[in-house]
Amino acid sequence: MAPFLSKRDLNFQLFEVLDTAALPQRPRFADHSRDVYEDILNLAYAVAERHFAPHAREADLNEPQVVEGRVRLVPGVAQAIAAFRDAGFFSAHHDEALGGLQLPWVVMQAVQAHFQAANVGTSGYAFLTIGNANLQRVFASPEQQQKYMMPLLEGRWLGTMALSEPHAGSGLADITTTATPRGDGTYSINGTKMWISGGEHELSENIVHLVLARIQGAPAGVKGISLFLVPRYRVQADGSVGENNHVVLAGLNHKMGYRGTTNTLLNFGEGGETIGELVGEPGRGLAQMFHMMNEARIGVGMGAVMLGYAGYLASLEYARDRLQGRAASQKDPSSAPVPIIRHADVRRLLLRQKAFVEGGLALGLYASSLVDDLETGPEEGREDTRLLLDLLTPIVKSWPSKYSQEALSDAIQVMGGAGYTRDFPVEMYYRDNRLNPIHEGTEGIQGNDLLGRKVTQAGGRGLQVLLSRIQADLDASAGLDGLEEIQAALKAAVTQCTQALQTLLAQAGQIGPDLYLANANSALEMLGHTVVGWMWLRQAAVAAQALPGARGDDADFYRGKRHAARFFATHELPRVRAHAELLASIDRTTTDMQEAWF
């Protein structure tokens, strides 16, 4: 069995490309050191390997089932969640006063990466709980935090996000679940929620739902939506679990992948009253959710990266071992077949995977480091950091979701028929990852967010910050050995992006919002590839500087980094031009298309 994660690369990204080892200089992390971080990452690897990886396929093959109104999962899930809890990961990035380790976000993401790679389905229960608690930490009252957040940090209860409804998935403005004041400050919740991951199970004695609903008389649209804490079982004054709160499982969704994470249809207020507590002010529900959206979307992107990465490692191991065929120049049929990694097209498929997943990992961790900079970095520059993070978030979410899927298709292709069977994990990763371009905002929504909001936000300041950081890295890498291709291709891509956006923005007022956004997907593609090209420049520059002093495996590792950058430059970055030209042409093909013509 191939490893599910490359420790060497994770260390490279955290400690050579990013300066994670310098974080302990910040007051919040004063008790930390690189050794502490490495110990925690080693613990994550051990827990993931021992408790998460072994039942990944079993959970895929044995979908969650409804038994007497509850959801039954394979036994490994509960054991894994217990191990995750015992290792302290539920609260690891929280304050020491809350029992946490005050881990930086980038290290927390690296921890989570292990579980996403080892078993994305089971890790879902943990990460939904962490996301729920993070939101409570910012917006819930101290009493609510004591009642609903602390059990999550302790891993005693688990949490969900209950946003979508059967008629309103991407269109949250139209949700109809109602919240009726009960006169005592609490609300009676009624409605149906769809696509709720972890919405019902027997893993914990209670489940805390964060629910979007409308208070009676609230205005239409997003301004009428409020956020509520709704427990599966009511919580008694002493914090113990009380009577049924009538959140009823109405059905399970049967998915192509991600099968370990049960996905539910829930009725609130069926067969009795469902009582919820308002979080913060009325009408702020969507804004509160979106406050956490950067982190949630980075999490989706990182999950996609790790599935792609695990697939890459599996197909790499196979390609080294599998003997088949000969070089085109080898005409002697009695010569021995060679490992398929020697064939140029197999190497292309492996290099492409390497370029996508290591580029995606660099991007996900870079964005995570921006979250740290925003929270604990120098005051000066935080606004720029926030705008850059806002700009990058739709890319961090969508680029790995799409290109890990390409990588996983390549992993299957390397392995041929074997990759298409359950004898190897890549077909499962391929099914699992196909969810990532859909949830937490579809690719279409990310494109609109990027071009419609982030590119123009604060007068385009986020884009300026991005371009100046890319330029600074280009300047700093000038003269380094073996970087010619990535430097030239990145410069060309930056020029193409800049010109396309200038052309489009100059006409934005005239063409109106619908046509302005018609080719938002090309903006996402064009900027996505350019940003990942930048990530490859950064990695290649570190490698080029380290190479003269490196020996053996280390030297090979750095040469591989530099070569993957070259691959991204020669095989991938040239795709930017077609997207830039389409965007600049203000192409009307999609808007001109009539429904009757399909």
Q: Residue 281 or residue 423: which is nearer to a copy of itself going by CB?
A: 423
Of 209, 203, 46, 233, the C-alpha closest to 121 is 203
Q: Least CB distance from residue 202 to a copy of itself, whole Å?
A: 23
Q: Which of residues 515-534 bind a copy of itself (CB under 8 A)?
A: 516-521
Q: What are phi and psi of 244, to 5 degrees?
A: -50, 135
Of the CA atoms within 13 Å of residue 95, those in its CB half-sphere come to: 5
Of 57, 255, 284, 461, the residue at the interface with a copy of itself (CB under 8 A) is 255
DSSP summary character for residue 337: P
Q: Quick check: 556 binds a copy of itself (CB under 8 A)?
A: yes
Tell me the three state secondary structure of residue 395.
helix
Using CB under 8 A, which residues numbered 338 to 367 contact a copy of itself?
339, 341-351, 354
Residue 64's CB is within 10 A of a number of other CB atoms, namely: 23
Q: Which of residues 434-453 bind a copy of itself (CB under 8 A)?
A: 434-435, 437-439, 442-444, 447-448, 452
Nearest residue (CB) to a copy of itself, 323 versus 476: 323
Q: What is the CA radius of gyration of the chain?
A: 24
Minimum distance between the CB of residue 174 and a copy of itself, rounded to whole angstroms? 6
Tokens of 224: 């009428």
Q: How far apart are the first and last CA of the chain?
A: 47
> Which DSSP category does 162 fall into?
E
Does 176 bind a copy of itself (CB under 8 A)? Our answer is: no
Regarding 323 and contact with a copy of itself (CB under 8 A), the answer is yes
Q: Which stretch binds a copy of itself (CB under 8 A): 42-50, 69-77, 371-379, 410-418?
A: 410-418
321 in contact with a copy of itself (CB under 8 A):
no
Cβ 107 to a copy of itself shortest distance, Å: 27
| Residue 554 binding a copy of itself, by CB under 8 A | no
Please, which residues bridge with residue 71 across strands? 66
Query: Which residue lies nearer to a copy of itself by CB, 82 or 256?
Result: 256
Residue with the two structure tokens 């399909």 = 598
Catalytic residues: 440
Q: Rounded to the nearest whole angstrom, what is the least distance from the CB of residue 168 to a copy of itself in the complex? A: 7
Of 132-140, 219-227, 387-395, 463-471, which part binds a copy of itself (CB under 8 A)?
Answer: 219-227
- Of the pair 245, 530, the CB lying nearest a copy of itself is at 530
Are the C-beta atoms of residues 197 and 131 closer than 8 Å to each other?
A: no
Measured CA angle at 170 (ends 169, 171), to 5 deg: 90
Query: In the bound complex, what is the minimum distance in angstroms from residue 385's beta carbon to a copy of itself?
Result: 28
- The single residue among 22, 82, 472, 578 that binds a copy of itself, judged by CB under 8 A, is 578
CA distances from 265 to 163, 203, 431 (A): 11, 18, 21
Residue 563 CA to residue 544 CA, distance in Å, equals 10
176 vs 502, beta carbon nearer a copy of itself: 176
Contact between 283 and a copy of itself by CB under 8 A: the answer reads no
Binding-residue pattern over the window 367 to 406 for a copy of itself, x denoting contact by CB under 8 A:
--------------------------------------x-
- Give the tokens for residue 505: 């923005």
From residue 111 to residue 150, the character string flagging contacts with a copy of itself as x (rule: CB under 8 A) and all else as - is ----------------------------------------
Which pair of structure tokens corresponds to residue 193? 């929620």
Cα dihedral 562/567/568/573 (nearest 10) = 130
Stretch binding a copy of itself (CB under 8 A), from 126-134, 318-326, 366-374, 470-478: 318-326
Contacts of 583 (CB under 8 A, 6+ apart): 500, 501, 503, 504, 519, 522, 523, 526
H-run or E-run covering 187? strand 186-197
Size of the site for a copy of itself (CB under 8 A): 105
Tell me the angle at which helices 105-118 and 293-321 cross, rounded to the nearest 10 degrees. Answer: 50
427 contacts a copy of itself (rule: CB under 8 A): yes
User: Would you count residue 420 as binding a copy of itself (CB under 8 A)?
Assistant: yes
User: Of 44-73, which residues contact a copy of itself (CB under 8 A)?
Assistant: none
Footprint on residues 85-114 left by a copy of itself (CB under 8 A)? none
508 is an interface residue for a copy of itself by CB under 8 A = no
**To the nearest whole angstrom, how small is the minimum distance from the Cβ of residue 422 to a copy of itself?**
4
Contact flag: residue 174 with a copy of itself (CB under 8 A): yes
Strand residues in 269-360 grouped as ranges (E):
275-278
Convert 26-36 to b/e letters by CB count within 10 Å (16 or more is b). bebbeebeeee
Under rule CB under 8 A, which residues in 223-252 are in contact with a copy of itself? 223
Q: Which of 438, 47, 511, 501 is nearest to 263 (CA)?
A: 438
Out of 95, 96, 205, 423, the only residue in the binding site for a copy of itself (CB under 8 A) is 423
3-state secondary structure of 252: strand
